[in-house]
Amino acid sequence: MNTKMPTRKLGNLEVSAIGLGCMGMTFSYTPFPEKKDMIVLMRKAIEQGVNFFDTAEVYGPYNNEELVGEALAPFRKEVVIATKFGFNIVDGKMAGINSRPDNIKKVAEASLKRLNTDVIDLFYQHRVDPNVPIEDVAGAVKDLIAEGKVKHFGLSEAGANTIRKAHAVQRIAAVQSEYSIWTRKYEEDVLPTLEELGIGFVAFSPLGKGFLAGKMDSNASFGEGDIRKILPRFTQDAREANQVLVDLLNTIGAKKNATSAQIALAWVLSRKPWIVPIPGTTKLHRLTENNGAAYIELTAADLSEIETAYSQIQIVGTRYTEAMEKSTGL
């Protein structure tokens, strides 16, 4: 039986209040699960009211889009699929950014095939390309929209000025960036810009790459190919220091009969009515837990308690290595 989850608007695009980030099913978080299990998980998400699924050509590369396309094919009219362009892929590996208009159009055609669909609901520029004017990027997507191959345009990890310039050429439905209670840099200028322009915000890693779910103690280890193995926030010392943030979420959760993950997601949802978190998971019980956050209401007193406690917490470790921040931000 399908559950009706509350919905939110990203520009003119209506989606479930919580989406599903599909990246980890084939990319960044090893070991990868069985394909058949991920098809079951995505279809279970639909049963729980999720209609918003996030993928990209570089996740894999390619096999994530194929997986999402296969899983969602029977439900295509009921779901919103977001994918992304903006990288060169050479010999099956990411090889720098590329948002030249000819590449954008080539990627769109390939993504349509892999997703087994005739239209991409939301097409994001994955990372800003300093070598291509953002107006040209927006113009290329505007052409794809005119051709009926794309419905909505999005940017990822873009700054306020870039957003304004792109939006002037082609209306942006959503900007996607990392956002959680421990990654809040976009509150200063990006979120106010989005509110002014009527653009939605999609929060990836709303659970801090799993840390805020509270199941990662100081002894946790990460396998080869798991991105967290090289991230400054996931060293043993950083995890020990940052545990105070999970303790805060658990304190609030105890009052709400909720988990730290649910409070972390409810906090993101509480920030603005046009913010949609897209936690990723490969486990059915986590999917159900995450989606339960759509029904948790944090009161003004809860939010004040979180903010007061948060102001005393010093987050240890940057979210990415310096080299990653400079190159692609992935």
Q: Are 9 and 55 in contact (CB under 8 A)?
A: no
Which of the residues 29, 59, 179, 320 is marked catalytic? 59
- Residue 172's contacts (CB-CB under 8 Å, 6 or more residues apart) are 11, 153, 154, 155, 163, 166, 197, 199
Residues in the chain, overall count: 330
Reply yes or no on whether 59 is catalytic.
Answer: yes
For CA atoms 283, 286, 287, 288, the dihedral sign is positive
Phi/psi at 54 (nearest 5 deg)?
-115, 125
Three-state secondary structure call for residue 211:
helix
- Residue 262's contacts (CB-CB under 8 Å, 6 or more residues apart) are 253, 256, 289, 290, 292, 293, 296
Q: Token match 């479930």: residue?
A: 16
Distance between CA atoms of 8 and 200, rounded to whole angstroms?
9
Q: What is the dihedral of CA 135, 136, 139, 140, to 10 degrees?
A: -150
One DSSP character per residue, 232-254 reads: GGGSHHHHHHHHHHHHHHHHHHH
| One-letter amino acid of 111 | S
- Provide the CA 275 distance to its chain's centre, in angstroms: 11
Alpha-carbon distances, residue 305 vs 251, 257, 301 (angstroms): 10, 17, 6
Determine if residue 326 is left, alpha or beta; phi over 0 gives left, psi from -120 to 50 gives alpha, anything else beta: alpha
- List, by residue number, the catalytic residues: 59
